[in-house]
């Protein structure tokens, strides 16, 4: 069962400048940064609030590290802005299977490692009214069998 908005992913050309905008404008501070070589992004997670299920809600700022990455291609086509929305779940595998059974294309056969050690998968935007949708099981609430 989806429990919260885990994060909203925002594609940007300059991560440092975008972080500074969110810090200066809204007072949001960086909670975590990392480079995900597999996905070709440098990212910053800005924590917005805690949630009742032990997770949190974030803004995820994404700067491509290479032009051929998914975010790099998206930026070239669309420019900066909202890239995806991510919903939190305690069971990314089960929820992905349930959603796949309803006819929505799940982009990864098996969930992959995402930000902060989470497990993630994506749903095809053409099946989600134009919205790239991510399912996330935070490392903190991941079940022991994963």
d(C-alpha 144, C-alpha 6), whole Å: 20
Per annotation, catalytic residue among 39, 63, 83, 134: 134
Burial class (CB in 10 A: 0-12, 13-18, 19+), 97: exposed
**CA-to-CA dists, residue 115 to 38, 39, 85, angstroms:** 12, 11, 14
The SS3 of residue 101 is: helix
Per annotation, catalytic residue among 39, 60, 63, 83: 60
Per annotation, catalytic residue among 39, 63, 83, 84: 84
d(C-alpha 118, C-alpha 37), whole Å: 15
Per annotation, catalytic residue among 7, 39, 63, 83: 7
Per annotation, catalytic residue among 39, 43, 63, 83: 43
Active site residue 43: yes
Listed in order, strand segments (DSSP E) in the chain are 2-11, 30-36, 41-50, 56-64, 81-89, 112-113, 119-123, 133-137
Active site residue 134: yes
Q: Report, as residue numbers or ranges, the catalytic residues.
A: 7, 43, 60, 84, 134
């Amino acid at each position: 069962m989806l429990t919260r908005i885990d994060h909203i992913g925002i594609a940007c050309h300059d991560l440092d400048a975008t972080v500074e905008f969110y810090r200066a404008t809204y007072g949001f501070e960086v909670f975590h940064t990392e480079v995900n070589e597999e996905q070709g992004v440098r990212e910053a997670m800005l924590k917005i609030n805690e949630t009742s299920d032990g997770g949190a809600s974030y803004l995820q700022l994404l700067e491509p590290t290479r032009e051929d990455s998914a975010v790099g291609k998206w930026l070239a086509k669309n420019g900066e802005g909202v890239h995806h929305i991510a919903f939190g779940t305690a069971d990314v595998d089960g929820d992905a299977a349930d959603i796949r059974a309803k006819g929505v294309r799940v982009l990864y056969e098996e969930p992959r490692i995402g930000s902060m050690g989470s497990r993630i998968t994506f749903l095809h935007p053409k099946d989600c009214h134009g919205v790239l949708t991510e399912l996330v099981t935070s490392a903190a609430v991941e079940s022991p069998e994963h």
